[in-house]
Structure 1
């Protein structure tokens, strides 16, 4: 191996120590020819040559092969160190002839496993009688006790007789990549389980229970797979552009109750992420002006968008009490998990709509199937009544049949044309309901049909009802009047269901409150928060009259000590 000399009088010679290269006679002759620098290993030679050009390199035949091969692959020791990967040479006996510092830094069992794998690759190449002309690198993935993972690339080293004598291998540590892939796979599996919220599983659960089930799953998977213990999920209310807390774990009450909007300025990191759809790693909250209070003593945060059909529907915010606690790997896995959260929240909402529209579709199909037979019955009965003029008893029976058919058609029509809220026939009240008689009931809902339907039903049972069309009106009435029961929708203009619940309790600590919702999740977290403070119940749209009475009776029933 030669390099261009910069001095015509003195040769620069590097000798790699070995039985033949360090023989006294040879060294004496070399010293007479120039300046000799002796090194112990190929690694030392590469290190020396990278800083000190040489005119001549003297080495054992096998060592020279390795030096030439490594010089071609890596250029210099500096490149080797910059790669940060392991390099080694094994011989036909499976012995580790040489290894660089990176490979030698691993535990002995890891080095031995790498040596063994390289030796097997070498013997495969020997067995296939590979020549210089068709020599190609061989690759293999190996794992050591599931703790270390490597990709090994081995190339043959040929002797003077063109026979393979050794193999030089580049060992890439892919442990972090493999662990990330394993985590992604686990998150994917957990996400699929997360969105398996089918109608059968949730049929008997109210909104609060449904959200609690989802919250339990999300918190469990976030802690188990992502090691996230302090986080919150906010859902975007598109009408107001506000980000409302849906669930939280390990966050302060101040953080959960912050009013945040999806804008890039003045609404913290969560507002920025919701507005731009881009994830955000804050390595040091003390140096980031966007940060708003979250975890007590928070030092760093990770915030990713909840995306549904590439549209932002909310955010997942994770916090840590350590500086720079989150990496790009954390960002990637959090983004995957956040997509599943978005899907799960969407499924909860759709289950309500699906159940209602499915009921309507089935009822409509039944109505279509029964329309002709019912009309035939009406026609035939009317004809019979004309034929039996003078037979009063028979005509009364036939008239009763006509009335029954009319009621059947009205019932089917009531189901298929339900206004999205109340279904089931209103029972005729022959006397006042003892629990409702004289009770003052506030009904707050921005849907006129729902508000008036509930008022009519409860009024017919003896209640004295008052109605509010929005949250602000409801709270004003609570401040000016005393009520025995409050029924309020959770999503109305101006105020949330929780704010109405709080106002009712502030006006009368004993006043029972029933919240009403037509959605599969609670975007303002009203139900969960109120549930922790004595909420009486939740009326889930579309609801039947008997369900309304069931909850009202529960709310007004005398309390036992």
Structure 2
């Protein structure tokens, strides 16, 4: 067939047909109107499309679709974000779009090269480890994932191409899609999950053996490790909200200016920079250009952009997590989402640490309370006996008196040393389990010496436990005479006496205690309001101000003791 005709002045038209006869008849019909560019194979057609300046395409054959040629002719294949290539049976590239060369980071044509070799060092990750052979052998599409270098991932889809009624494929159409951002995002999500497990893996036994500073350093080192290795942020600042005054206390700062680290900030949306705004509102803040952001306060040296995320747990804002970069617009929405996810894990770790610290404080408190409970009765017995001996020998035998005074001093020290050991084990012992109001009251009542007179051992123990929790020094007596003896021998800030003592009623005890110390605050107590001798009424006539009813209501007990010991209304400082 002779197609060489002097038609160079006519427009070029690609003619692609299923058979030579069909192609010949088409050429005869178009010879006078255009310059014919024949193609007898798919590879030949695609090559001519790329190399010749064509003005038209003619596709022959019932089972052939012109859509691919039309896309190629119009240049639309170059707009597709995926790499596209046509391979021969040896997986060599016959044709490719420009995007494939971009993905392979090649500037020259890849035609003639094996597709995978054009990407350099490739690791096939599966699921199909021989995708091209599988597609050719099965006549079905295959899919696999490859890794190029350390951080580039691509999805490779191979589809066999049959021409006319061929039984076996002659070509493979391959699409290469860049999965790098998706894979890295998935890897980061998995890494954040693992980071959360490790951050939360604070074994109670391990933590209980650490000091407060050691526990904080452990958590800080873990947070910093994952921040730098996982999120790849070199500059970081974490601040925690103090619940009492909303002050933002620095927990961790790396790469920040010294002035920025020491800057006093509060959880307030105004006047406290981005950090204060985030802590106050609970909303993340992406600062793309610090020069044009009214909230930004100087942090890292040379910073141009920042990202600040709240540390939130159960709708409570625990603090803030801030990262900065010397590049403007360095942080994306993906960075924001990753940091928010990471901060959830950090918040949970901080909460876990607080719970373990509280558990340690509670354990120490329980141990201290148990020891104090067990020594309370023997110590009080020693004090009672020593007071009796002192009264008999005072003024008669100075050495004996001096020895007894030393015994009393050392006996009281036993109780104080137990309390100090408990506080040394946990510095927050005195505040463990106390509300803010109770903590305030514990400061008011601390070191107040209270004498409790009751024949019931359980009542005496309850007084030790309840008032001791708030810092009071409690000593007890079994009856009225012991109480009076203790009152004559030692100083007390207040006396609590039952109205039914074995040797006297409440009115008698009140009167005689006042005879010893005219202004001694005395509180009488009774069970269920039962007072057959009307001792409370009589004592009121003598100046009694407070009455307690057993079993104690804690708030009433504290209020009465505070008013008596401090000489003013409850909840006011002494």
TM-score range, shorter chain: 0.5 to 0.7
Of residues 42, 45, 51, the one that matches 2:46 is 42
User: Which residue does the alignment assign to 1:13?
Assistant: 13
Task: Give the Å deviation of 1:43.
Answer: 7.1
Choose from 148, 152, 163 the match for 1:148. Answer: 152
Q: How does 1:191-270 map to 2 (within 5 A)?
A: 191-270=196-275
Q: Distance in 2 between matches of 1:275 and 1:47?
A: 64
The corresponding residue for 2:86 is 89
Which residue of the other structure, out of 130, 140, 143, is the alignment partner of 1:139? 143
CA distance in 1, matches of 2:81, 2:150: 21
How many angstroms does 1:318 deviate by? 0.5
Q: Which has the larger radius of gyration?
A: 2
3-state SS, counterpart of residue 244 of structure 1: strand
Give CA-to-partner distance per residue, 1:157-183, whole Å, 9 cap, x none.
222124242221221111222223223
Mapping 1:477-496, distance limit 5 Å: none
Q: Is the 8 A contact 1:301 1:318 kept in 2?
A: yes
Which residue of structure 2 aligns with residue 377 of structure 1? none
Partner of 1:421: 429
Q: 1:310-459 to 2 correspondence within 5 Å?
A: 310-358=315-363, 421-422=429-430, 447-450=440-443, 453=446
Deviation at 1:249, TM superposition (A): 0.8
Taking a change above 3 Å as real, the CA distance of residues 58 and 70 of structure 1, as seen in their structure-2 partners, is closer
- Larger displacement relative to structure 2 (344-353 or 189-198): 189-198
Q: Distance in 1 between matches of 2:448 and 2:335?
A: 52
Give the Å deviation of 1:110. 8.8
Contact 2:365 / 2:429 at 8 angstroms: preserved in 1?
no
CA distance in 1, matches of 2:242, 2:45: 68
In structure 2, the CA distance between the partners of 1:162 and 1:178, relative to structure 1 (3 Å rule), is same
Residue 454 of structure 1, CA deviation: 6.3
C-alpha distance in 2 between matches for 1:145 and 1:234: 38
Instruction: Give the distance between the partners of 2:301 and 2:429, measured in 1 at CA.
Output: 43
Deviation at 1:58, TM superposition (A): 5.7
Change (3 A) 1:361 1:159: farther
Within the candidate set 115, 124, 137, 2:134 is matched to 124
Conserved? CA contact 2:81–2:99, under 8 Å:
yes
Partner of 1:294: 299
Shift in CA distance, 26/141, structure 1 to aligned 2, threshold 3 Å: same
Post-superposition Cα deviations, 1:183-237, rounded to whole Å, max 9, x if no partner, equal 3333332332222222222223322232222222222332222222211011223
C-alpha contact 1:421 1:450 (8 A) present in aligned 2: no
Matching of residues 459-470 of structure 1 within 5 Å: none
Q: Distance in 2 between matches of 1:119 and 1:353?
A: 54
Q: Distance in 2 between matches of 1:231 and 1:119?
A: 42
| TM-aligned CA distance change 1:111 to 1:221, over 3 Å | same
Find the aligned partners of 1:342 and 1:44 in 2 and give their Cα distance: 62
Query: Residue 360 of structure 1: CA displacement?
Result: 5.6
* Contact persistence 1:113–1:144 (CA under 8 A): no
Deviations for 1:465-501, whole angstroms, at most 9, x for unmatched residues?
xxxxxxxxxxxxxxxxxxxxxxxxxxxxxxxxxxxxx
Structure 2 Cα separation of the partners of residues 329 and 110 of structure 1: 35
Checking the alignment, whether the CA contact within 8 Å between 2:361 and 2:429 is kept in structure 1 is: no
Query: Structure 2: 5+ residue runs without aligned partners?
Result: 1-9, 378-411, 432-437, 450-574
Give the direction of change, closer, same or farther, for the CA distance of 1:207–1:232 in structure 2 (3 Å limit).
same
CA contact (8 A) 1:91 1:119 kept: no
Higher mean alpha-carbon deviation, 118-127 vs 306-315, is at 118-127
Structure 1 residues 294, 172: CA separation in 2 closer, same or farther (over 3 Å shift)?
A: same
